Amino acid sequence: MLTILDQVNLRVQAGEFVAILGPSGSGKSTLLALMAGLDRPSEGQVLLDGREIQALSEDELARLRRTKLGFVFQSFQLLANLTARENILLPLELAGHASGPKRADELLRAVGLSERGHHYPAQLSGGEQQRVALARAFAPSPSVLLADEPTGNLDSATGEVVLALLERLRREDASTLVLVTHDPALAARADRLVHLRDGRIEREESVGAGGHR
């Protein structure tokens, strides 16, 4: 059997911003998938708020993702057949939020795309698409946000804008953020850095309050 992660022991506090760094194949994405309940560990435990998530059924996992988890991906992952506003609205509809449309409009405004809500992803630039993705991730006010190279497909100036937005939204909601990247500049904004290599935690370092600017 192939071992992708081994002896990984990681605890993330509520409200904390943790960046996971490592070269390709170090197991960053697998760790993120395990934390999101998208994958199940062959051994060991993943606990969220003290609940063992690998023991949850598909339906319970779905409910968990609906309410507690938000995702941001490198390739944005917007639904192409939905407008920007509908993409943001979708998780709210799934969670049955009564005030969904209002919240979607607020979020559109917050990411600076009030005028673009009726556009489809194909009609938006990469940076705009990722801003919509951010708004979608924050829509149900998740307690944990998981981000996979959120600026990986963007030029540095646009990446900077998206990142600033991500930090602002996170602060407002006081959510926990776990971010996978191999960009040291991006990682420098985190409270804590976790370096992975060959499936093991190589080292951890606390950046202290430096992340909160």
Comparison of 122 and 157: residue with beta carbon closer to another protein? 122
Helix (H, G, I), strand (E, B) or coil at 210: helix
How many angstroms separate the Cα of 191 from the Cα of each of 32, 109, 166, 167? Answer: 17, 28, 15, 12
Site for another protein in 152-181 (CB under 8 A): none
Q: Which of 8, 12, 90, 110 binds another protein (CB under 8 A)?
A: 90
- Cross-strand bridge partners of residue 176: 144
Q: Which of 54, 67, 153, 158 binds another protein (CB under 8 A)?
A: 67
Piece in contact with another protein (CB under 8 A), picked from 10-18, 71-79, 183-191, 193-201: 71-79
Tell me if 98 contacts another protein by CB under 8 A. no
Tell me if 110 contacts another protein by CB under 8 A. no
Neighbour count for residue 119 (Cβ, 10 Å): 16
Tell me if 56 contacts another protein by CB under 8 A. no
Q: Which of 7, 50, 96, 115 binds another protein (CB under 8 A)?
A: 96
How many angstroms separate the Cα of 112 from the Cα of each of 8, 49, 95, 185? Answer: 39, 33, 24, 24
DSSP character at residue 61: H
Binding mask 18-47 for another protein (x = CB under 8 A): -----------x--xx--x-xx--------
Q: What's the closest the beta carbon of residue 167 comes to another protein, in angstroms? A: 22
In 36-176, alpha helices (H): 58-67, 84-95, 100-110, 126-138, 156-173
Tell me if 54 contacts another protein by CB under 8 A. no
Neighbour count for residue 117 (Cβ, 10 Å): 20
14, two tokens: 């509520």
Binding residues for another protein (CB under 8 A): 29, 32-33, 36, 38-39, 58-59, 62-67, 71, 73, 77-82, 86, 90-91, 93-96, 136, 148
